[in-house]
Amino acid sequence: MDAQSTRRTLLLSAGAAVTAAAIAADPRMTQAQNSVPLKVVSFRGFSNLSIFAAQHTGLFAKYHLAVDLAYTPNSQSQRDGLAKGETQIIHTAADNAVAMVELGKQDAVIVGGGDNGFNRIFAQPQIKSLSDLRGKTVVVDAPDTAFALLLYKALQGAGLNKGDYKVRAVGGTPQRIEAMLTDKANAAAGVINPPLSFKAAAEGLKDMGSATKGVGAYQSGCIVVMREWAQANGDVLVRYLKAIIGGYRWLFNPGHKSDVIALVMDRFKLSNDFAAKSYAVVTNPVDGFAKDGKFDPAGFENVLRLRAEIEEQWGGTPPAPGKYIDLSYYDKALAAL
């Protein structure tokens, strides 16, 4: 061996020794090296708080997961990414999973719940009531799923049927707010939720009330995967759900209130006042996050009922909900905590 080769070997050996010593001193390095990478895609909003909490408290690292969180511009892009395998997990509205199965003929499945969406309808200041939207334009994410259906139902309650107003698909909540602020012809948005609803109100848009007023219980935020991926990666999925449930528990612990508010301020770039209001919304014992991110069967039945009524799907009679749900992974995660 020549001198240069000997020197290279010594350097490599020294580097390996330093790495081994660092790992021995900090077990987190071993965890990081053995972590399973997961691409998770969601909308910007409160549905991410359990993810942020799991990141903040080191729960993903604890369960040997390397989570890469990305935001989607709209539900169609989010659904397409999951179906193509570009994403392993999405946090989305439950009706998006139904749309994947029924419209996309893709074997997606709901594996966990989360929240009712905290959905509010916002309009331009001159709109006095929802009936004033006759002949005007409303902006939505996608025209045939989730929050758009909630808006149509609310407008129906105000005496407006499809065709009495124009629908414009512009994308996620930030895009809907921007569309209303930059073009007053966009008379209302369906729908907007915190913390961006605080921004919408601060910018002068009018809160027209809850989008679920005529619906009742509603399962909005949930966790969706492809069924085939779940079957092949059950242990990974259970570990992910354990981290998410742990995140919810950390959020709901009263002793963590100041830390949660600080986290909301940091991740959403909100003032202390708006962050405190956000904390009050998500921890409300009646309308806040579901305990442990539990799935709401009654709320999901209303999701299906709404699709059957508004979109006239399934001949107007919703199917049994079990077709879209597999909570066995969630149950395993919960039982292990």
Residue 283 to residues 9, 303, 315, 334, Cα–Cα distance (Å): 58, 23, 39, 20
- Distance CA(281)–CA(46), nearest Å, equals 10
Q: 33 falls in which pLDDT band (50, 70, 90)? A: low
- Distance CA(118)–CA(316), nearest Å, equals 27
Residue 96 has pLDDT above 50, yes or no: yes
Average pLDDT of span 101-123: 94
Average pLDDT over all residues of the chain: 89
Bridge partners (DSSP) listed for residue 41:
70, 90
Q: Two tokens at 243? A: 């981290």
pLDDT over 90 for what percent of the chain? 72
Residue 1 has pLDDT above 80, yes or no: no
Report the 3 state secondary structure along the chain. Answer: CCHHHHHHHHHHHHHHHHHHHHHHHCHHHHHHHHCEEEEEEECCCHHHHHHHHHHHCCHHHHCCEEEEEEECCCHHHHHHHHHCCCCCEEEEEHHHHHHHHHCCCCCEEEEECCCCCCCEEEECCCCCCHHHHCCCEEEECCCCCHHHHHHHHHHHHCCCCCCCCEEEECCCHHHHHHHHHHCCCEEEEEEECCCHHHHHHHCCCEEEEECCCCCCCCCCEEEEEEHHHHHHCHHHHHHHHHHHHHHHHHHHCHHHHHHHHHHHHHHHCCCHHHHHHHHHHHCCCCCCCCHHHCCCHHHHHHHHHHHHHHCCHHHHCCCCHHHHECCHHHHHHHHCC
Specify the pLDDT at position 215: 87
Residue 215 to residues 154, 212, 298, 300, 302, Cα–Cα distance (Å): 9, 5, 11, 11, 7
Residue 19 has pLDDT above 80, yes or no: no
Residue 9 has pLDDT above 90, yes or no: no
Residue 28 has pLDDT above 60, yes or no: no
Average pLDDT of span 31-44: 85
- Distance CA(55)–CA(272), nearest Å, equals 21
Specify the pLDDT at position 325: 98
Specify the pLDDT at position 292: 97
Q: What is the CATH number of domain 35-116+219-335?
A: 3.40.190.10
Closest CA to 192 of 303, 118, 137, 280: 118
Q: Two tokens at 141? A: 């994410």
Q: 293 falls in which pLDDT band (50, 70, 90)? A: very high
The residue to which tokens 């992910």 are assigned: 240
- Distance CA(129)–CA(139), nearest Å, equals 17
pTM of the entire predicted model: 0.83
Fold type of domain 120-210:
D-Maltodextrin-Binding Protein; domain 2 (3.40.190)
- Distance CA(327)–CA(97), nearest Å, equals 14
- Taking residue 169's Cβ as centre, other Cβ atoms within 10 Å add up to 16
**What tens digit of pLDDT does each residue of 153-192 get?**
999 999 999 899 999 999 888 899 999 999 999 999 888 8
Specify the pLDDT at position 326: 98
Lowest mean pLDDT among 14-18, 31-35, 193-197: 14-18
